[in-house]
A and B are shown apart, each in its own frame.
Chain A
Amino acid sequence: MRRLTRDRLTSFALITPSVVAIAVFVYGFIAFNGYSSLARWDSLLPDFTFVGLRNFQKLFTLARFQIDVRNMLTFIGLFIPACLAIGFVLAVLLDQRVKGEGLFRSIFLLPMAISAIVTGVVWRWLMSPGTAETGSYGINLLLEQIGAGFLKSGWYTDPQFGIKAVVIAAAWQMSGYTMAMYLAGLRGIPEELREAARIDGASELQIYRHVVLPLLRPITFSAAIILGQIALNIFALVVAMTGPGPGFSTDVPALFMFDTTFRGGNFAMGAAIATIMLLLVMGLVVPYLIHTFRSEVQV
């Protein structure tokens, strides 16, 4: 009995620091953020006068916030399918037992290891439209040289294109990650299943459609959740690449929050934006976690 107590003491002692740290620095700060969003605190001096949901009411009327929400939806709507599609195609290609698979895998995964700031800067250069005096740069120059000059674009400098330029950079960075997930999934599908389908009369395309893709559905689901979470929180890439852009055409909520809080000094409003972002991410992740835990219990 005594030993048991001592074991339990040890385990408590080992667990306590991280419990305390998470309680304070994660949940404590979330609570503080929520509290701030309901306060007046619109200047550098803390002012915790309770104002209810007034900050949120005002936020929803702001043009910049409305544009941000639209940008975010565009971003999510393009970024997730792009990563899934590119990642899947790369995984299928790598799954053909190509020579140098390890090398290709590393190459495709590498962008993920690069800091978003670096990615942003590089793509800023690549997508720089150039001027009449200097001629074209980067991608535009490339398009010109291969005779596809009609595809030239102002990229992020064109308010019509705007956030889509960031989608390209973000998809470049994260597609390798979905590829890795899909590749693992593909390797987990027994060869006999494909053979059975082949004998059943399925063409290679039909095998992917009727057997492989349905079996990869859990992976697609997980990848979409993780990519969605990344999309909702995207910040560093936008800062380094474009900033808010002309007419906020490349702006995102995280950038707005940063500007409002640390440049505008409106802490309560910043906290309100942060709260909304948190709720959006929770809306995505919490059902996923519940689903995951449930299926783990089932197995």
Chain B
Amino acid sequence: MTEIVLKTEGLSKSFGGLRAVDDVDFELPAGGLHAIIGPNGAGKTTFFNLVTGLLAPDSGRVSFFGRDITGMKPHRINRLGLARTLQIKSVFDGLSVYDNVWVAAHSHLGFLHPLRPVTSYRATASKVEALLDRLGLQGCRDELAGNLSYGDVALLEIAIALATEPKLLLLDEPVAGMSPTETRNTVQLVKELSKSVNIILIEHDMEVVFDAADVITVMNQGAILCRGTPAQIAKDKRVQEAYLGVSEEARC
């Protein structure tokens, strides 16, 4: 039996009268690239927020490798090996690209030395170099993150998330706003990453999802609609209805 990376039971969160995430039972076995899709407002990002501790659930439980992480602070969850990117790209604007990755690579170690220079940490430095190489960010390593193009910010955010050495990586629309070339490269990268890290991907670009994902979960109105391989999902009537609305013929 494969290991269960992430599991939620009866996970719910309401905003006022809106049940943004409604009694979600979700299980992620180890290995492979998992995608969550669904129309706008389906509750995908709220689901990520509940899992990573940015929001506390109204009810239900989240466990990570069998450990209950419900209601834990984000930094503690991250130290257990769960990293994510945000839908609205989130980096440290006033720091250089290098420092952005450096602080992430170092922070989960726990102790922050108050006097030793950042430049004296050899192991961290080589880790940062490797990540900058991998994400293709060497060219802008000394730029302030706030000056980067949108596509580079998205890549930097992935580098930051990877620097914390996650066992599970949640990517929230990583290719939104990227050029076609950037998108192609990023999808290739995410596919490669998924060989070594468990990944859950939220994505609106259906081409990307059906190309990259091994398993797809469809959410609609806060609940899980169905789950299956890309081929199964593509044929599923309920999914088509959720996305496209009821077909013309049916409506007439």
Do the two shown chains form a genuine complex with each other?
no
